[in-house]
């Protein structure tokens, strides 16, 4: 890598400020997961804000934060692209997702003989066990809730893992239904 490429990859101070804000949001939204490291992460987020203009120092602080938080439940440290949801939204989605996984775990286990060859993963093959099938359903719920938050159909509130005020996605119209409505409208106008 040339020096020119390194300059183009430089992280602006805003990059580190946004990350520091994510840390604070996550600590607030996940008191159980952050119970023993919440204070440390909050202090490191303050250090990160203070060092945001010094990329080398800020990156070192960020790596320290990432190392501490990477193994935590509902962590804000993720491989790949960062979620567009806030830490509070991610925590709500994950809480409901965990309830869905728990609900399906017992059902999938007790009905494994029936379900194992009927409920198949999207990519093909079969589920390794009832736990992976329960995770499959939990991931489906995760996608639906994330989409609902982004579409403004859920304000990410929940009680005991049950989403409240979640509006279902409207059903997709089929071509036949659309044509029937068009024909009926044309006939009534004639």
Domain boundaries, the chain: 9-69, 87-163
Cα separation of 145 and 161, whole Å? Answer: 12
pLDDT digits (tens, 9 = 90+) for 6-53: 555 788 999 899 889 988 888 888 777 778 888 899 999 999 999 999
Task: For the beta carbon of residue 154, count every other beta carbon within 10 angstroms.
Answer: 24
Cα separation of 70 and 84, whole Å? Answer: 18
Q: What does the pLDDT average to over 165-188?
A: 70
């Amino acid at each position: 890598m040339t020096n020119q490429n390194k300059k183009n990859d430089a992280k602006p101070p805003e990059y580190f400020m946004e990350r520091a804000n994510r840390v604070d949001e996550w600590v607030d939204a996940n008191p159980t997961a952050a119970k023993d490291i919440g204070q440390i992460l909050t202090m490191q987020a303050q250090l990160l804000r203070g060092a945001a203009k010094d990329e080398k120092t800020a990156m070192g602080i960020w790596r320290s934060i990432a190392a501490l938080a990477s193994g935590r439940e509902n962590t804000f440290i993720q491989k790949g692209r960062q979620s567009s949801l806030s830490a509070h939204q991610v925590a709500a989605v994950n809480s409901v997702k965990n309830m869905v996984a728990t609900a399906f775990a017992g059902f999938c286990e007790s009905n494994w003989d029936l379900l194992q060859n009927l409920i198949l993963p999207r990519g093909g093959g079969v589920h390794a066990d009832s736990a992976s099938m329960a995770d499959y359903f939990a991931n489906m719920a995760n996608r639906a809730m994330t989409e609902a938050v982004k579409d403004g159909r859920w304000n990410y509130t929940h009680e005991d893992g049950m989403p409240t005020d979640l509006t279902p996605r409207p059903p997709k119209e089929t071509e036949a239904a659309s044509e029937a409505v068009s024909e009926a409208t044309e006939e009534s106008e004639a």
